[in-house]
Structure 1
């Protein structure tokens, strides 16, 4: 993996600059941290590198501690700006006098997994010196395997984690419960629960992972028994999302009346700082059960809360699109456009995607153009959705240009739609524009959008070395999903 180079050095004694400037010494920890944090957080577009901001900071004679950069990484991760968070970590790693602690290495493992995928995270883990491999690094690797639903690897690393008898590994057990539940491995989940009871290993999250497993399996009887146990157990804290999860189970079996009752209980438990997160989630649940009146009711509650944020608009727009209320969604988008403080490309992308799915490509183009003309570049998700719309409209020339922009960058957690990418490559091959086909594939492999195996196969396909092969057959099942 290429690491970002910087010629500047970090110092661990905060407040002492290279020049010994008294002005730097007089900065408080909070004021300097906020100043750097504000500079970096202002780079709202996750596709824009933050390294120049860091370089400029030290050019001004400012130097900060590892703790402050770790806090910056944490803040970026909170906003799901994982690529920028990884840039900060890599910038730190390349300072000659800085060495990551095991905790820092654990953070880096997680970020690499989110930005570049599991294969790169595995490769990075193998490069770690044995002396720095311990519980934190194994736990970080386990979390990566769970996020990517890599069952065998997760079970293997869990065996190593169980060797740390003197440490609290409850959360690692909880991660395995989560994985077993997500993958429908209920027998293994039950065995693990019994093992945890024998070892007296559990916490409030253990109950939640068990509950989520019942919800995933739509096991209403099991869920109701566990819910009664949680309500009676003083150790088990029942949160707003406990009842929200139960509502989701009832929704799956089309018991709307009980789902509504659970959502009302969930609302009543939403208090203080959790209120906005709770209402955003519950609003989405009301959309899932098709209750538009409740969606708008909660939206009005959300708007009455102080410090409105982009996430509320994201949840509301997604909910209205799900309900098919495109006219209402357009009004919400217009409201956001008139008052947002920080641009969030995900919000117009929701409408662009909705328009394309409805075959209204002209509206999708207009939405995209409006933001581009306003100096707000959209990320590859918007271009990918537009490419899908063009492909469905059989306008392959425009689809190719859109997919070219979609694959030119790597936004954490996103990949181009294969059922659009492949027809574009096929179209270019049949047209005879091999250079552009190869250029698009090169971007795909450089940005980890496709595997090396798929890339090699598609390059062979473009060169007509596998004339009887359908290009989509060259992808693994994981990529197709």
Structure 2
């Protein structure tokens, strides 16, 4: 339900009103905000709008996110809609559908279901039924989706391309590509128009079935539709299908067709071209498209640079990569750590650890973070090189940065650390690491089990291990007891 994520008139009105606030100072925001006057009876009611107002007011000073990015975060979190409800805004049918969709994303499907069932009969319509179907499909809830779709058919609100596209996407999500084509045929029988998204899912389904004849049959159908054959997204799906089939010649032919129909102002299209040409290892085309990006837009933004750096990294052009990264560092108005992370990953992969560390040091000085992803890259690198002191240094630094539980080491990183401890029978380091996990609430059953296995590898007896577990405040469970019985 991508269209439902677009702003409605009320949200656009809010954007216009609040964009003016971004030019004001934080001090003015504090002065005018009810949050600075706890006794105000309206403080609680206006908390969402004031929070947004104050975040917008800080933007000029921080130089970080844009107004639109900040608003997008509030929209994704559902807080814009909460603000509208508190302001007494009358929701249209589409507003209800968007709110339902946001509830599912932020509070779960049950919250969306409750909201839907609380709507009046007139509000349970094409839009809200479709929104709930989308929620079920997004979450992969096949049984609920099919029951709901059946109800939609009974209510005569199922004959839309959006509803069928949702079911097709659900089948792809569940690994059932063979069920997509019959749904497309059903659409044709019901005289429901196939959209660019429909064709894209169809192409992808045939590709997953290794049926390139089916893919090309869909494209023949597309070429008969003047409107559809001008849609670059369809050609992107075709190119991906050929890449998956290993036919890079036809993939690049599809990219040429894509270039003919794409808008020269569409950054996403250029990013796709860069990505696929990198996949086909065509450095010359990567450089050509990058030149077109720089010619097409007055400003080359961080996303553009991140995309070209990923492409250059994929084709292995380290010289071009270095030059482009230096150019980005020189030109960027906002030092986005995600761009720096691409460089860190690329240099670590090439065993150029000194270069990676220098970039990370600059990122620490110029970026607001977060730095957890980069630190995990270094942890993984040093563990592979058996340099435990360096790996521990990075996880200690990461844990020191954690605020309000905003990061936990990934399961992969935890496993890699314990693999090292197990292999080296390093109990001291294992216990030190376990204490770090406790600081961020990551001492789950898996971590406890891995610690026990490390004790066993070091030759500890069951009573010794049980005593150590008690020292760590670990309660015994059936799994740990079974492991200790085998010692």
TM over 0.5: yes
Q: Deviations over 1:86-122 (max 9, x none)?
A: 557189469977698634532433542xxxxxxx523
Q: Deviations over 1:326-380 (max 9, x none)?
A: 2211211111111112332211111112223333333222211111123543432
**2:282, 2:216 → 1: CA distance?**
24
Contact between 1:404 and 1:440, CA under 8 Å: does it hold in 2? no
Residue in structure 2 matched with residue 261 of structure 1 by the alignment: 253
Residue in structure 2 matched with residue 307 of structure 1 by the alignment: 299
For the pair 1:108 / 2:102, whether they are aligned, the reply is yes
**2:405, 2:319 → 1: CA distance?**
29
Q: Matched residue of 2:172: which SS?
A: helix
**2:151, 2:218 → 1: CA distance?**
30
**2:405, 2:73 → 1: CA distance?**
7
Q: Matched residue of 1:394: which SS?
A: coil
Contact between 1:77 and 1:85, CA under 8 Å: does it hold in 2? no
Contact between 1:83 and 1:111, CA under 8 Å: does it hold in 2? no
Structure with higher Rg: it is 2
Matches within 5 A, 1:233-382: 233-234=225-226, 236-274=228-266, 276-305=267-296, 306-382=298-374
What residue ranges of structure 1 are gaps of 5+ in the alignment? 1-12, 15-27, 41-49, 113-119, 446-453, 471-481
Q: 1:196 to 1:353 in 2, by over 3 A?
A: same
For the pair 1:422 / 2:407, whether they are aligned, the reply is no
Q: TM-score, normalised by structure 1?
A: 0.70
Please say which of residues 283-292 and 126-135 is displaced more in the overlay.
Answer: 126-135
After superposition, the CA RMSD in angstroms is 4.6
Q: Deviations over 1:24-48 (max 9, x none)?
A: xxxx9776322246789xxxxxxxx
**2:369, 2:314 → 1: CA distance?**
26
Q: Matched residue of 1:202: which SS?
A: coil
Matches within 5 A, 1:22-421: 32-36=17-21, 58-59=33-34, 85-86=75-76, 89=79, 92=82, 102-103=96-97, 105-109=99-103, 111-112=105-106, 121-122=108-109, 124-125=111-112, 128=115, 130-132=117-119, 134=124, 139-140=130-131, 142-143=133-134, 146-147=137-138, 149=140, 151=142, 154-155=145-146, 157-166=148-157, 169-204=160-195, 205-234=197-226, 236-274=228-266, 276-305=267-296, 306-403=298-395, 408=402, 417-421=410-414
**2:142, 2:66 → 1: CA distance?**
29
Contact between 1:287 and 1:320, CA under 8 Å: does it hold in 2? yes
**1:137, 1:55 → 2: CA distance?**
39
State the shift of 1:324 in Å: 1.2
Contact between 2:137 and 2:145, CA under 8 Å: does it hold in 1? yes
For the pair 1:458 / 2:450, whether they are aligned, the reply is no
State the shift of 1:289 in Å: 0.6
State the shift of 1:156 in Å: 5.1
Q: TM-score, normalised by structure 2?
A: 0.69
Contact between 1:151 and 1:179, CA under 8 Å: does it hold in 2? yes
Contact between 2:206 and 2:212, CA under 8 Å: does it hold in 1? yes
**1:298, 1:170 → 2: CA distance?**
34
State the shift of 1:235 in Å: 5.8
**1:142, 1:376 → 2: CA distance?**
39
**1:189, 1:461 → 2: CA distance?**
43
**2:404, 2:182 → 1: CA distance?**
40
Please say which of residues 336-345 and 373-382 is displaced more in the overlay.
Answer: 373-382
Residue in structure 2 matched with residue 440 of structure 1 by the alignment: 437
Q: 1:176 to 1:80 in 2, by over 3 A?
A: farther
Please say which of residues 100-109 and 218-227 is displaced more in the overlay.
Answer: 100-109
